[in-house]
Amino acid sequence: MTLYDTLHYSVVPPLFLLFFTPVVQVLTRVADPQPLSWAVFTGNAFSWCFTAVMVLWAYLFLVLPGAVHHGPTTDFGQTPSYRANGMLYYTATLAAYALVETLLLPGVSVLVFSNMAAILASLNVLALLLCTLLLVRGKTAPQTAEVVPPRPLPHEFYRGMELHPRLLGVDVKQLTNCRLGMMLWQLLVLVFCVAGARLHGPSAGQLVGAAIQTVYIAKFFWWETGYFSTLDITLDRAGYYLCWGCMVWVPCFYTYSTCFLVRHRSLLNDTQAGLVLALGLAAVALNYRVDLEKQRFRRSTGECRLWGRPATFVSAEYRTASGWHKARLLTAGCWGVARHLNYTFEIAAALCWCLPGLGHGLWPFLYVMFLSVLLVHRVFRDEAKCGEKYGKAWRRYCSQVPYRMVPYVF
């Protein structure tokens, strides 16, 4: 076992994160001069209503009749199924928000902004209850015959037990990651923008940050079925890391640069804001392009053209419970430039939506700093997974595409 494995499978990282993430969550609220009260820990009537509406609304779209998408079959034979109506859910939610903010309850955005700490508290309580339920059920009545090696309890709580658990007829990770985490991110970014405009007048910088994030999140819902083949779904289990992360950390931390600008006005002028917008949209488009190239390559089983030439690849084989399978590792297009160029553009896009906070210290840049650590760590996690899965073929691929994120640098 390497030092990385020893640390990774010990209880130290989970205990650190279990302690550290809620502390940062509270600290980000302290940086905003909002009065602190017990609602920071327990929520209040408004925050519980808001949370209940969001959960029920998300659940409703997952049980609506409609197209079903099947994710990749696991090596223990489970084929997860998802509701394929991401764009409908996204547009319906934005339309509902526009209706409430303009007609039914004008000023609701300011109300949400001023109750943000309590909203996070409600989400926190709910997410911790869900993670506890998933842990108990995963240990006592798992839904599949997968054999998961036992780990210390804090690690199991943090990592989760099952890969694709279902609850009340819906896939838990689709509910927590896509329908709650991503939608809360979108909604809150718009809410903070409207609250900023209502309280202090419109700001080009804040608008630009929100616009880049909106394009990024709309792209996510457009491509939601593609998300079901990513590491969050195929590698990470439903536990604190993923479910608490999406229900609490994403709405708290990913939205923070826009939230911060409600009270601290962006110092960017219109020209600078326009430049940041152009750079941010380009980074989002490039991030999407990288993901799309792999998706097209996989869908065509390698018979496609990239950058005007037939795609090149390394042939690989891997074994699951059902036997040996063939795979192809793309070495053309963006995937021939570096092994994780999508992460590089993801970080560039995040930097752009944090830039409107320039001149206000480090607070508005917390998200991009966190994301850089998350994605570099993810590169190593992914490489460990692929090395184990594809063996020699993976090493051959790495020798053909030697850089991870930035050519000639890393």
* Least distance in angstroms from the C-beta of 387 to ligand NDP: 10
SS3 167: strand
Residue at token pair 């409908």: 88
Examine residue 385 and tell whether it contacts ligand NDP (CB under 6 A). yes
> CB count, 10 Å around CB of 212?
26
* Least distance in angstroms from the C-beta of 375 to ligand NDP: 6
* Region of 25-33, 109-117, 194-202, 384-392 interacting with ligand NDP (CB under 6 A): 384-392
Site string for ligand NDP, 355-374 (x = CB under 6 A): ----------------x---
SS3 199: helix
* Least distance in angstroms from the C-beta of 393 to ligand NDP: 10
Distance CA 356, CA 203 (A): 10
Using CB positions, name the residue nearest to ligand NDP: 230
CA atoms in the 13 A half-sphere facing the CB of 46 = 15
* Least distance in angstroms from the C-beta of 302 to ligand NDP: 9
* Least distance in angstroms from the C-beta of 332 to ligand NDP: 9
SS3 80: coil
Residue at token pair 């920071």: 40
CA neighbor of 393 nearest in space, from 297, 301, 314, 319:
314
Examine residue 335 and tell whether it contacts ligand NDP (CB under 6 A). yes
* Least distance in angstroms from the C-beta of 389 to ligand NDP: 6
Examine residue 378 and tell whether it contacts ligand NDP (CB under 6 A). yes
Distance CA 90, CA 340 (A): 28
Distance CA 257, CA 192 (A): 10
* Least distance in angstroms from the C-beta of 223 to ligand NDP: 9
Among 85, 214, 255, 342, binds ligand NDP (CB under 6 A): 342
What is the phi/psi pair of residue 166, to 5°?
-120, 150
Q: Return the structure tokens found at 332.
A: 């053309």
Examine residue 289 and tell whether it contacts ligand NDP (CB under 6 A). no
Examine residue 381 and tell whether it contacts ligand NDP (CB under 6 A). no
* Region of 76-84, 130-138, 202-210, 326-334 interacting with ligand NDP (CB under 6 A): 326-334
User: What's the residue count for the chain?
Assistant: 410
Examine residue 287 and tell whether it contacts ligand NDP (CB under 6 A). yes
Contact 104, 122 (CB under 8 A): no
Count of residues that bind ligand NDP according to CB under 6 A? 19
Residue (115 or 174) nearer to ligand NDP, CB:
174
| CA of residue 223 relative to chain centroid, distance | 13
* Region of 97-105, 179-187, 338-346, 354-362 interacting with ligand NDP (CB under 6 A): 338-346
Site residues (CB under 6 A) for ligand NDP, limited to 26-55: none
Distance CA 188, CA 259 (A): 8
Distances (CA, A) of 159 to 164, 275, 292: 13, 40, 29
Residue (277 or 371) nearer to ligand NDP, CB:
371
Site string for ligand NDP, 88-107 (x = CB under 6 A): --------------------
What is the phi/psi pair of residue 325, to 5°?
-130, 155
* Least distance in angstroms from the C-beta of 30 to ligand NDP: 24
Examine residue 330 and tell whether it contacts ligand NDP (CB under 6 A). yes
Among 291, 351, 352, 405, binds ligand NDP (CB under 6 A): 291
Examine residue 230 and tell whether it contacts ligand NDP (CB under 6 A). yes
Give the amino acid at 97.
Answer: Y
Break the chain down into helix, strand, coil percent, rounded to 5.
Answer: 65, 5, 25
Q: Return the structure tokens found at 127.
A: 């997410």
Residues that bind ligand NDP (CB under 6 A): 230-231, 287, 291, 294, 327, 329-330, 335, 340, 342-343, 346, 371, 378, 382, 385-386, 389
